[in-house]
Amino acid sequence: MQVAFKYRIYPNKVQSIMLNKSFGCNRFIFNYFLNHKNEQYKKTKRSVSYNECAKLLTDLKSNFQWLKEIDSISLQQTLRDLDRAFKNFFKGYGFPKFKSKHNHFHSYRTQMVNDNIQVENNKIKLPKIGWVKLKYHRSHKGKILNATVSKTNTGTYYVSLCCETSDIEKLQTLNTALGIDVGIKSFCVTSNSEIIDNPKFLEKYYKKLLKAQRELSSKTKGSKNFYKARIKLAKVHEKIANCRFDFLHKLSSRLISENQVICLENLKVKSMLKNSTLSKSISDVSWFKFRQLLEYKAKWYGRIVSIIDTYYPSSQLCSNCGFKNEEVKNLNIRTWECPNCKTKHHRDINSAINIKRVGLVQSDLKPVEIVGYEVFETGSSYF
Ligand SMILES: [Zn+2]
């Protein structure tokens, strides 16, 4: 299994210059070959292969000496990335885009060849860069396959190590399952009636974010103060992203350790309808990240994440008797009583229970395997 470990790195002045050159050269190679591939395709209706590009890269290096200054493996990696981007395009994904110099995020990737990447005592050795100071807050596991070096728009550098590992122990199998609904007022609500709020610090940072945005818009574009305000705004964004990631990381770890199966909605459409404010749009981003974290941790630890269809009316159905109450479509209704069985419901908890029920059916688990769950089924839909 491949696992990524990300660390902050602190290059010195000379190293930063080299890293910036590496970003630039890799961007140049990417754009140069993207253009080349486009031109050739127009002329010959044939896609240029990786090997052809690699050969051309060797010629290119004799014309552009500065390309020789940087890690040559990273340039080959860029060609491979471009090749894959084209293959993905033919599979129906978007067409590869040119990389802009004016983008504020930069990165390049290099592969492990003959121990050219090493980690020891809070330092990492990167090809052509040398030993760079690194904040080794947790140890990586397994064999390093490749390293991606990046620089964010606040000028912070990171390295992400992709490692091949088999020593992640599976957790002991449980007979518990959980349904999770996106809360309207909270981050999420579970079928165990747990209401998980958005962390308080986010509120604090939203205010800072708004302030930084206002400051930036009051500055003259291109001026020194504009530049300062842009960095300030980017720093708030970065802070929010880091805190949010920490919150999601801890929450997903806990839920995965407590449950064998976790059921979620495939949320795209629904969340867009629900959310309009800034804080909500940030929690949207969180939700997708949260799902990713749950999915990869489930894979590591031998758990199951079951994603249910977006169009399933989870909030309108009574989780006790299956009665469909269309009135609950109104988002202002927080609690309701089932007209059929008179059960009193908290909107989101009821929804989470329904999500759990359907998720269990979809995950091909016999409901009895998980705490004797019963499934209502009438006609083609559940209930
Ligand atoms: Zn009912």
Give CA–CA dist 19/212, Å, rounded. Answer: 29
Q: Does residue 348 carry a catalytic annotation?
A: yes
pLDDT of 19 higher than 90? yes
pLDDT of 151 higher than 90? yes
Which listed residue (348, 369, 374, 377) is catalytic? 348
In this structure, how many other beta carbons lie within 10 angstroms of the beta carbon of residue 34? Answer: 18
pLDDT of 279 higher than 70? no
Q: Does residue 265 carry a catalytic annotation?
A: yes
Confidence class for position 45, pLDDT limits 50, 70, 90: confident
207 vs 364: which has the higher pLDDT: 207
Q: Specify the pLDDT at position 335.
A: 94
Q: Specify the pLDDT at position 125.
A: 95
Q: Does residue 59 carry a catalytic annotation?
A: no
CA distance readout (Å), 135 to 11, 127, 139, 146, 156:
11, 19, 10, 18, 12
Which listed residue (265, 284, 327, 337) is catalytic? 265
* Bridge partners, 382 (sequence order): 377
State the distance from the centre of ligand 1 to the C-alpha of 325, rounded, in angstroms.
Answer: 9
Q: What is the pLDDT of residues 214-224, one digit of tens each?
A: 999 999 888 99
State the distance from the centre of ligand 1 to the C-alpha of 339, rounded, in angstroms.
Answer: 7
State the distance from the centre of ligand 1 to the C-alpha of 319, rounded, in angstroms.
Answer: 7
Which listed residue (39, 81, 181, 295) is catalytic? 181
pLDDT of 333 higher than 70? yes
* Bridge partners, 162 (sequence order): 4, 146
Q: Specify the pLDDT at position 276.
A: 53
Contacts 24+ apart (CB under 8 A), 193-196: 193/346, 193/349, 195/348, 195/349, 196/251
Q: What is the pLDDT of residues 58-67, one digit of tens each?
A: 999 988 989 9
State the distance from the centre of ligand 1 to the C-alpha of 348, rounded, in angstroms.
Answer: 15
* Bridge partners, 108 (sequence order): 149
Q: What backbone phi and psi angles, to 5 degrees, belong to 244?
A: -65, -40
123-126, strands of its sheet edge to edge: 106-111, 143-151, 157-164, 2-10, 130-134, 123-126, 118-120
Give CA–CA dist 333/24, Å, rounded. Answer: 54
* Closest among 171, 116, 117, 82 to 7, alpha carbons compared: 117
21 vs 289: which has the higher pLDDT: 21
Q: Specify the pLDDT at position 374.
A: 39
Give CA–CA dist 153/171, Å, rounded. Answer: 39
Question: Do the beta carbons of residue 78 and residue 66 sit within 8 Å?
Answer: no
Confidence class for position 131, pLDDT limits 50, 70, 90: very high
369 vs 209: which has the higher pLDDT: 209
Mean of the per-residue pLDDT values for the chain?
A: 85
Give CA–CA dist 291/307, Å, rounded. Answer: 9
Q: Specify the pLDDT at position 285.
A: 64
* Closest among 175, 281, 302 to 237, alpha carbons compared: 281
pLDDT of 371 higher than 50? no
State the distance from the centre of ligand 1 to the C-alpha of 266, rounded, in angstroms.
Answer: 25
Give CA–CA dist 145/321, Å, rounded. Answer: 53
* Burial annotation 149-159 (CB, 10 A radius, 16+ → b, else e): bbbbbbeebbb
Give CA–CA dist 177/363, Å, rounded. Answer: 11
Give CA–CA dist 42/270, Å, rounded. Answer: 42
For residues 76-98, average pLDDT: 86
Question: Do the beta carbons of residue 345 and residue 338 sit within 8 Å?
Answer: yes
181 vs 202: which has the higher pLDDT: 181
Q: Specify the pLDDT at position 203.
A: 75
